[in-house]
């Protein structure tokens, strides 16, 4: 992956940060995108300290104009994007019968529509280069469902459908499109869960531990590599065996 350019959304923390660091360690120059620029700068400093190259852009995945602007800035700095990791996501949980329309719309806009708009920004360049990798971060709940998360589950299941459709559209140009479906990963989001809930989770995971962001990043790094050139339209589960 030497000299490839990667664009990672939601790169300021958790899985996105781990993906950015993993791609950089493989020789990729990385565009870091998220709303919190100060945290992005911290990740950029880590990358540069390790001898890598990165560029920070603010992005709001619920605002198409912000997405287009971020990719335009990245193109001026680094050139065309070879690898896109659609990782940014939000949750606004609640039972479906009481879910507010604004909470449904916000999650779908950020997690699904935002990923689609971001992907649109890179496809033409990948087609011209006849090489590209699009990697969508979905979720175990997209396959298994989860009570109280109808909006989040729908957005992540939508990403799987988007992955498979784009894989068929782009294959003739040597552009692969895949998804990674993490299980429960030890991030800021899961650290706030009650211990009783964590204990129930662990009982449902054959490997008996929460995943690490680095576990997901390793899968992303593989799918972005030359070695994964014959893999497309695939959903790679990184969930400790909790859904098979």
- Residues forming the active site: 152
69's enclosing H/E stretch is helix 64-78
Other C-beta atoms within 10 Å of 69: how many? 15
Angle between helices 37-49 and 14-25 (to 10 degrees): 30
**C-alpha–C-alpha distance, residues 83 and 134, integer Å:** 6
d(CA 41, CA 58) in angstroms, rounded, equals 11
β partners of residue 132: 175
Sheet strands side by side (includes 235-238): 54-58, 29-34, 5-9, 83-86, 132-137, 175-182, 235-238
Give how far Cα 242 sits from Cα of 93, 202, 208, Å.
21, 9, 9
Rounded CA separation 60/9 (Å): 9
């Amino acid at each position: 992956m030497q000299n490839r350019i990667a664009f990672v959304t939601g790169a300021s923390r958790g899985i996105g940060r781990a993906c950015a660091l993993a791609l950089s360690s493989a020789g990729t120059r990385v565009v870091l995108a998220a709303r919190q620029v100060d945290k992005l700068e911290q990740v950029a400093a880590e990358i540069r300290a390790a001898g890598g190259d990165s560029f920070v852009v603010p992005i709001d995945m619920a605002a198409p104009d912000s997405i287009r602007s971020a990719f335009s800035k990245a193109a001026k700095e680094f050139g065309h994007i070879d690898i896109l990791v659609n990782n940014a996501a939000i949750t606004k949980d609640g039972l479906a019968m009481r879910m507010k329309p604004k909470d449904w719309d916000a999650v779908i806009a950020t997690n699904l529509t935002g990923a689609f708009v971001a992907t649109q920004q890179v496809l033409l360049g990948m087609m011209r280069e006849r090489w590209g990798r699009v990697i969508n971060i979905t979720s175990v709940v997209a396959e298994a469902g989860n009570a109280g998360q109808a909006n989040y589950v729908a957005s992540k299941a939508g990403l799987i459908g988007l992955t498979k459709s784009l894989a068929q559209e782009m294959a003739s140009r040597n552009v692969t499109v895949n998804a990674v479906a993490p299980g429960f990963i030890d991030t800021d989001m899961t650290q706030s869960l009650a211990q009783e809930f964590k204990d129930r989770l662990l009982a449902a995971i054959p490997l008996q531990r929460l995943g690490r962001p680095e576990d997901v990043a390793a899968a992303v790094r593989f799918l972005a590599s030359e070695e994964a050139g014959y893999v497309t339209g695939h959903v790679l589960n990184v969930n400790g065996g909790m859904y098979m």
